[in-house]
């Protein structure tokens, strides 16, 4: 019976180790998901800001300097519509 008890004990230790590893993986994945969501929110905010600038430029309300237009890859059509 001694060997059976040793195997049960070893399996119990292995199971606890696996549980700990799974918890660690879950925590790391959660951290990556949270960071990814924050990054996406930042990107979306930047895109919204650029779209807002593009809209104002197209309406002629806010003329953007040429260096900013080239940085934003703003279409030439919008530059012509402001004139």
pLDDT, tens digit, for every residue of 23-73? 999 999 999 999 999 888 888 887 777 666 666 666 666 565 666 555 555
Q: What is the pLDDT of residue 17?
A: 96
Q: What is the pLDDT of residue 47?
A: 75
Q: How far is CA 37 from CA 1, 11, 14, 68, 81, in A?
A: 54, 39, 34, 28, 37
Q: What is the pLDDT of residue 59?
A: 65
Q: What is the pLDDT of residue 80?
A: 47
Q: How far apart are CA 76 and CA 48, in angstroms?
A: 20
Residues comprising the chain, all counted: 83
Q: How far apart are CA 72 and CA 1, in angstroms?
A: 75
């Amino acid at each position: 019976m001694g060997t059976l008890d040793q195997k049960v004990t070893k399996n119990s230790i292995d199971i606890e180790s696996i549980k700990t590893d799974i918890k660690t993986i879950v925590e790391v994945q959660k951290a990556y998901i949270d960071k990814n969501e924050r990054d996406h929110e930042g990107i979306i905010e930047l895109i919204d800001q650029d779209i807002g600038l593009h809209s104002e430029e197209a309406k002629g309300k806010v003329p953007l300097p040429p260096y900013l237009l080239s940085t934003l890859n703003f279409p030439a059509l919008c530059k012509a519509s402001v004139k």
